[in-house]
C-alpha cells in the first residue's frame, strides 16, 4: 500500500490519476476511463454521434436530454450567470469560425490568414433548460469545453474516492479535483502554464476541493501571422485580448476554480480585484512572466 499514479492522454489533454492506495490504481483507472468516455459521448462537439451534436441537429424543438448532458449544460449556464455572461456556452459557432472545429490534436498551423468576424455570440439566455428538457434556437451551437473538463474531474474524484475508499486526485488537462483522505501533507501540485512552455512555476498543496489553471498558450494555433487561442470573448466572438498568459485559482470545487480562472483571462486588468472580492486564492501570470497573487494564495 502506498501512493501510485498513472498518466495518459485523451481529449488532447494530459490526464493524471493519483491514489493513496496503490492496490486500487488499476480499478481507479478503469472507473476514470468510464467517466471520460461518458462525458465525451454526452458533450463532445467534435463527434457527430454525441448527444449534444444530435440535439443541435434537431433544432429549436424542446428535447429531453440525458442526466449527464443536463448536468453539463446546467453548470455552463450557472457559469454564465455568475460571470454576467463572460463565460458563455453559445460560443460553439464562433469557435468553429476561428478554426477550432475539431479535436485540438487535429488542428494544424496554416499559412492562410484567418478572417476574424467580430460578432457577439447568441448569448446564454437563449438556452432554456427546464429540468431535463432543453430548448435551443436553430443554429445555436454550444461549446461546453470551458466547464466540462472541470465537471469531469469533480465527478471522477467523488466517485473514485467512494468506490476505492482512499484518497484520490484527478487532473483533466490541468483541472484538478481531489477526494477522500489526502496524504499527510496534502496533495502537492505543480502549478505551471504548459509542460512545453511552463513559464514561472510553483508548487502548492491542497487537501480538498479543486484547483484549475486557464491559459492562452495551452491551446494555441497559428493562421497566417495570427496567433489564436481557445478562450473567446463573447462580446466579440474572437479570442480574448488579455495581458494574462495563465491564471490559476483554488476553490471548493474544480468547476468553481475553472469558472473563475477562465473568467479572469477574459476580464483582463479587472481580474485581480474581482478575484480578491470573491475571496478566491489565485495566481495570475502576465505575458512578461510577472506573477500577481491575490486572496492569500497559496494558503
pLDDT digits (tens, 9 = 90+) for 122-175: 899 999 999 999 999 888 989 998 899 999 999 999 999 999 999 999 999 989
143, three cell numbers? 461549446
Q: Give me the phi and psi of 248, to 5 degrees please.
A: -115, 135
Read off the C-alpha cell for 119.
460578432
Torsion of CA 96, 72, 218, 115, to 10 degrees: 20
As a whole-number percent, the residues of the chain with pLDDT over 90 amount to 67
Tens of pLDDT, residues 69-119: 999 999 999 999 999 999 999 988 877 776 655 555 555 566 565 566 657
The model's pLDDT over 206-231, given as tens digits with 9 standing for 90+, comes to 999 999 999 887 765 566 556 555 68
Closest CA to 216 of 143, 113, 285, 123: 285
Q: For residues 166 and 181, is the Cβ–Cβ distance under 8 A?
A: yes
Among 253, 227, 252, 254, which residue's Cα sits nearest to residue 241? 227
29-50 CB burial, b ≥16 within 10 A, e <16? bebbeebbeebbbbbbbbeeeb
Confidence of residue 60 (pLDDT cuts 50, 70, 90): low
Question: Which three cell numbers mark 9?
Answer: 492522454
Q: Domain 4-294 is classified in which CATH homologous superfamily? A: ApbE-like domains (3.10.520.10)
With 0.75 as the threshold, say if the pTM is over it: yes
- Count of Cβ atoms closer than 10 Å to residue 224 Cβ: 12
Amino acid at each position: 500500500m502506498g501512493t501510485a499514479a498513472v498518466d495518459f492522454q485523451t481529449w488532447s489533454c494530459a490526464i493524471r490519476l493519483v491514489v493513496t492506495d496503490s492496490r486500487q490504481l488499476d480499478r481507479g483507472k478503469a472507473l476514470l476511463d468510464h467517466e471520460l468516455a461518458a462525458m465525451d459521448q454526452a458533450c463532445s462537439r467534435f463527434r457527430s454521434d454525441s448527444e449534444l451534436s444530435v440535439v443541435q441537429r434537431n433544432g429549436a424543438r424542446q428535447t429531453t436530454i440525458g442526466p449527464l448532458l443536463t448536468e453539463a449544460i446546467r453548470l455552463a449556464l450557472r457559469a454564465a450567470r455568475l460571470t454576467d455572461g463572460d463565460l458563455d456556452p453559445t460560443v460553439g459557432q464562433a469557435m468553429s469560425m476561428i478554426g477550432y472545429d475539431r479535436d485540438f490534436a487535429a488542428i494544424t498551423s496554416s499559412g492562410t490568414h484567418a478572417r476574424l468576424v467580430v460578432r457577439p455570440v447568441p448569448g446564454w439566455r437563449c438556452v432554456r433548460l427546464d429540468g431535463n428538457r432543453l430548448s435551443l434556437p436553430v443554429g445555436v451551437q454550444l461549446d461546453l469545453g470551458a466547464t466540462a473538463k472541470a465537471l469531469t474531474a469533480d465527478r471522477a474524484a467523488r466517485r473514485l474516492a467512494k468506490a476505492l475508499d482512499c484518497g484520490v486526485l484527478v487532473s483533466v488537462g490541468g483541472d484538478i479535483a481531489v477526494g477522500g483522505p489526502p496524504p499527510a501533507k496534502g496533495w502537492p501540485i505543480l502549478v505551471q502554464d504548459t509542460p512545453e512552455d511552463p513559464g514561472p512555476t510553483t508548487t502548492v498543496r491542497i487537501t480538498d476541493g479543486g484547483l484549475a489553471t486557464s491559459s492562452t498558450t495551452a491551446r494555441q494555433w497559428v493562421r497566417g501571422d495570427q496567433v489564436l487561442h481557445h478562450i473567446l470573448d463573447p462580446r466579440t466572438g474572437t479570442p480574448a485580448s488579455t495581458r494574462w498568459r495563465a491564471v490559476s485559482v483554488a476553490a471548493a470545487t474544480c468547476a468553481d476554480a475553472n469558472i473563475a480562472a477562465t473568467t479572469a483571462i477574459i476580464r483582463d486588468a479587472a481580474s485581480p480585484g474581482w478575484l480578491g472580492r470573491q475571496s478566491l486564492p489565485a495566481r495570475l501570470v502576465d505575458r512578461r512572466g510577472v506573477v500577481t497573487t491575490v486572496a492569500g494564495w497559496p494558503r
